[in-house]
A and B are shown apart, each in its own frame.
Chain A
């Protein structure tokens, strides 16, 4: 049972990886990578790593690849035009890659060819992972939270448009300019008539809001 499952899902992973390499449009490469990740999750289950297998599906194939697909759609990424350097890279690169692969595979076959892998006899996986994560790996685990904080802040800062970053003040006033209630004007600590229009009390007529907002925008 184990060899059959290994060869089926290993073959799927291999086919997905080769498809990733030969496809030219990025969206097909991303979808091939999702197939590779799914097949690898089955191989992780065969090796007894349940926690890693499900994290692979949920985080990798679910979250990270959705981010990739969003960015591909956002940038409208299509087949790139070929350039001269890519031909040179392919002519030199494929033999070198094949050489590296033969070296690695030869080493692995020589060193670990006799070590058998069986199904069954696994460690108590999820509980053991939790125990190790919160005892001996506690400091790296906490440091990853700092890493994520820095990553999120950096991603928002990098992906923000430049003109919005420099012109933050007019945008903020425009958000508030729709219905300037007296409480809002007091919170902004400006006199009520300084927002460029009549200050209306709460419970206004809602259908006059767009015209009101437009008049305020012109007054700015």
Chain B
């Protein structure tokens, strides 16, 4: 039996590592992977609260987060392919225009 705060602190650590990766990574695919890590950290907090509060809503929120993450990954990776094909680089410092 462990306190709920352990799960929440682990979730906060995962989220902060995701934020750090989002800021420090230079290639666009790693930045996208860091966003997925942030979503996973938040999912852990949702499930922990769902268990502690005896409510099913947290699980459903995680379900919808996963659905949106799947759609986001499909569209985002398509955008990455289009941008990299136009710019011939993965480095975000060289992608400073929104136009293709």
Contact = CB atoms under 8 A, between A and B. Distances in A.
Interface of A: 2-3, 6, 10, 13-14, 17-18, 20-21, 26, 29-30, 33, 36-37, 40, 43-44, 47-49, 51-52, 55-56, 59-60, 63-64, 67-68, 71-72, 74-75, 77, 80-83, 85-86, 89-90, 93-94, 97, 100-101, 104-105, 108-109, 111-118, 122-123, 125, 128-129, 132-133, 137, 140, 144, 147-148, 150-152, 154-159, 161
Interface of B: 1-10, 12-21, 23-27, 29-30, 32-34, 36-37, 40, 43-44, 47-48, 50-52, 54, 56-57, 59-60, 62-64, 66-75, 77-82, 84-85, 90-91, 93
Given A26-B33, A64-B70, A100-B16, A129 B7 contact: no
A44 to B, nearest CB: 5
27 contacts: A3-B2, A6-B7, A20-B33, A26-B90, A33-B33, A36-B40, A40-B40, A43-B7, A49-B62, A56-B66, A60-B36, A64-B73, A68-B73, A89-B23, A94-B20, A97-B19, A100-B16, A101-B16, A104-B12, A109-B5, A129-B63, A137-B64, A140-B64, A144-B67, A152-B74, A155-B74, A155-B75
A55 B40 CA distance: 13
Contact of B24 (A13, A86, A108, A152): A86
Given A29-B33, A52-B63, A80-B27, A108 B43 contact: no
Contacts of A60: 36, 40, 66, 69
B62 to A, nearest CB: 5
Contacts, number: 235
A18 B12 contact: no
A83 B82 CA distance: 23
Q: Which 9 A-B pairs have the closest CB atoms?
A: A151-B71, A158-B78, A104-B12, A155-B78, A108-B8, A159-B78, A115-B4, A80-B27, A26-B29
Nearest to B15: A104
B27 A117 contact: no
A117 B52 contact: yes
Nearest to A81: B91
A43 to B, nearest CB: 6
Nearest to B64: A140
Given A17-B37, A115-B52, A144-B64, 12 more contacts: A52-B59, A64-B73, A67-B73, A68-B36, A83-B93, A86-B93, A117-B51, A125-B59, A128-B56, A147-B71, A150-B71, A151-B71
A129 B55 CA distance: 10
A151 B90 contact: no
